Chain A
């Protein structure tokens, strides 16, 4: 599946970006990337997606070295990035080649993400959560084996966020794609991921790798998860002391 070996991508003479990232995903694994702002998480996703190919090391999907955008990759950005001139159905079918049953195929994905009856709406008439549902469907329609998400729910209210997290899990059950999820939200990472990488530093490096040994379906109030959250917060607090940086982007509402 997805494997990264000694992958680095830096800017400004090596002072920003990330370096020496290594991991190999299992099929259908959900991997979380947690880290402070500016440690290169988005850059890493762009490298994996093939949008940024000026990296060193090797990124492979099914043994294909990534030199351009791989057809088995889907990506969901922080903003929905819908085409404002296309309605919901056409936005979902955006990535499909023009073929006869494109409309029909897109329609089934409208239903999958729970937007029945909104197919004819234009992006300006959608709420933030609905727009993000459309972008999820748009990423899924090409049947990706590797799905990359860059803080996909960070702009949504807590309730919508939980609904979409569950939607993501439901879809993941159905399609068994490998998912790489960048997030600032520790609860989100713990609720969704099998493995969490904590990145730290400038340029960012893997500081800690954590398995989440809780089976699904998980409960959001799970004790085990709460313990892990405390651990992660400690890890991040520690780095704060060492670097003397502020990490106001990580929610430090400690549960002590």
Chain B
């Protein structure tokens, strides 16, 4: 036992060391940047040599210039702000509905039998097919866009919550039953924490879809937003604007996902999984 204790405390010392060891993290970032940097370089060279024509595929430097000019005249922030707000509202609505419905349906067999076939049926419809209907109902304004995003976000979150709850280890639930937990206590103390990992999987893929649908919604008619910039770029023959918008979407998508990922690994630090090995 004592040797075990020793080795364990040693282990935890090691972990602490690793955590403060910053260069390792930096190394990972650098490692991940090698290929993108190389591709950018190739793109730049090919543009300068003239293989890529400027009016079709402008060089990275030109795209960067475009972004900087939009930052300078302030238009970029306005467009990003509008897009972020839409995705935030749509995402929140989608997640809230998915959590409520998913929890009830995951926990109660009856509710599943009643509701799940219907929801699965709706899931089979590509979300974009709703667009005409939403526009007819709500016009081309904000509500139809937000609705589309919410619908897109709903399904991955819902599916993951239901399967997360249904997949909770029966053995852990039995431990709760030994202490005479009420259903409510059982949900709060066992089922919810145990299904947290799949909840995070759900909202992360939901967010990915949210970005897809916000762009789709803005492509279909908007006067502001990153998707709108794409349309403007297309109509004014400015590939630099299109590429700049795409880069912005990539950056924002990555940032928001990283934020969720950070929250996830903080909340799930107790998980003992392969991906967490340091």
CB pair A125–B11 under 8 Å, yes or no, is: yes
Asked whether B171 is an interface residue with its Cβ less than 8 Å from the other chain, the reply is yes
CB pair B171–A77 under 8 Å, yes or no, is: yes
CB pair A81–B171 under 8 Å, yes or no, is: yes
Cα–Cα distance between A118 and B5 once the two chains are bound (Å): 9
Query: Which residues B218-240 have CB closer than 8 A to chain A?
Result: none
Least CB separation from A78: chain B residue = B171
Asked whether B172 is an interface residue with its Cβ less than 8 Å from the other chain, the reply is yes
Least CB separation from B273: chain A residue = A124
Least CB separation from B11: chain A residue = A125
Asked whether B17 is an interface residue with its Cβ less than 8 Å from the other chain, the reply is no
Q: Residue B272 contacts which of A73, A94, A124, A127 (CB distance < 8 angstroms)?
A: A124
Chain A residues lying within 8 Å of B172, measured Cβ to Cβ, are 81, 83
Cα–Cα distance between A60 and B193 once the two chains are bound (Å): 35
CB pair A84–B179 under 8 Å, yes or no, is: no
Asked whether A172 is an interface residue with its Cβ less than 8 Å from the other chain, the reply is no
Chain B residues lying within 8 Å of A77, measured Cβ to Cβ, are 171, 175
Cα–Cα distance between A142 and B171 once the two chains are bound (Å): 19
Q: Residue B8 contacts which of A68, A86, A127 (CB distance < 8 angstroms)?
A: A127
6 additional contacts, CB 8 Å, given A69-B177, A75-B178, A79-B171? A81-B171, A83-B193, A118-B8, A122-B270, A124-B272, A129-B1
CB pair B180–A71 under 8 Å, yes or no, is: yes
Cα–Cα distance between A30 and B68 once the two chains are bound (Å): 79
CB pair A49–B8 under 8 Å, yes or no, is: no
Q: Residue A84 contacts which of B4, B11, B171, B270 (CB distance < 8 angstroms)?
A: B270
Interface size class of B (residues with CB under 8 A): 20 to 34
Contact pattern, A 38-78, Cβ under 8 Å of B = 1, otherwise 0: 00000000000101000000000000000011010111010
Contact pattern, B 11-25, Cβ under 8 Å of A = 1, otherwise 0: 110000000000000
Please count how many residues in chain A sit with their CB below 8 Å of the partner chain's CB atoms. Answer: 31
Asked whether B271 is an interface residue with its Cβ less than 8 Å from the other chain, the reply is yes
Residues of A at the B interface (CB closer than 8 Å) are: 49, 51, 68-69, 71, 73-75, 77, 79, 81, 83-86, 94-95, 114, 117-118, 121-125, 127, 129-130, 142, 160, 163
Contact flag A51-B180 (CB < 8 Å), given A84-B272, A85-B196, A124-B270: no
Contact flag A85-B180 (CB < 8 Å), given A114-B1, A125-B11: no
Asked whether B212 is an interface residue with its Cβ less than 8 Å from the other chain, the reply is no
Cα–Cα distance between A73 and B175 once the two chains are bound (Å): 12
Cα–Cα distance between A117 and B8 once the two chains are bound (Å): 11
Cα–Cα distance between A127 and B9 once the two chains are bound (Å): 12
Residues of B at the A interface (CB closer than 8 Å) are: 1, 4-5, 8-9, 11-12, 171-172, 174-175, 177-180, 189-190, 193-194, 196, 269-272
A-B contacts, 12 listed (Cβ < 8 Å): A49-B178, A51-B177, A68-B180, A69-B179, A71-B180, A77-B175, A83-B172, A94-B175, A121-B8, A124-B272, A125-B11, A127-B8
Chain B residues lying within 8 Å of A123, measured Cβ to Cβ, are 270, 272
CB pair A81–B272 under 8 Å, yes or no, is: no
Chain B residues lying within 8 Å of A69, measured Cβ to Cβ, are 177-180
Chain A residues lying within 8 Å of B5, measured Cβ to Cβ, are 117-118
Q: Residue A85 contacts which of B8, B179, B270 (CB distance < 8 angstroms)?
A: B270
CB pair B4–A127 under 8 Å, yes or no, is: yes
Cα–Cα distance between A79 and B174 once the two chains are bound (Å): 12
Q: Residue A142 contacts which of B9, B179, B190 (CB distance < 8 angstroms)?
A: B179
- In the assembled complex, the CB of A126 is this many whole angstroms from the nearest CB of chain B, namely 8
Among A83, A127, A129: residue with most chain B CB under 10 A? A83
- In the assembled complex, the CB of A52 is this many whole angstroms from the nearest CB of chain B, namely 10
Contact flag A124-B271 (CB < 8 Å), given A83-B190, A83-B193: yes
Cα–Cα distance between A122 and B12 once the two chains are bound (Å): 11
Chain A residues lying within 8 Å of B177, measured Cβ to Cβ, are 51, 69
Least CB separation from B173: chain A residue = A81
Cα–Cα distance between A75 and B270 once the two chains are bound (Å): 25
Least CB separation from B190: chain A residue = A83
Chain A residues lying within 8 Å of B269, measured Cβ to Cβ, are 122
Contact flag A85-B1 (CB < 8 Å), given A51-B178, A79-B171: no
Chain B residues lying within 8 Å of A86, measured Cβ to Cβ, are 270
Cα–Cα distance between A68 and B179 once the two chains are bound (Å): 11
CB pair A125–B179 under 8 Å, yes or no, is: no
Chain B residues lying within 8 Å of A95, measured Cβ to Cβ, are 178-179
Which 5 A-B residue pairs are closest in the complex by CB-CB distance? A124-B272, A95-B179, A85-B193, A85-B270, A122-B270
CB pair A73–B178 under 8 Å, yes or no, is: yes
Cα–Cα distance between A79 and B272 once the two chains are bound (Å): 17
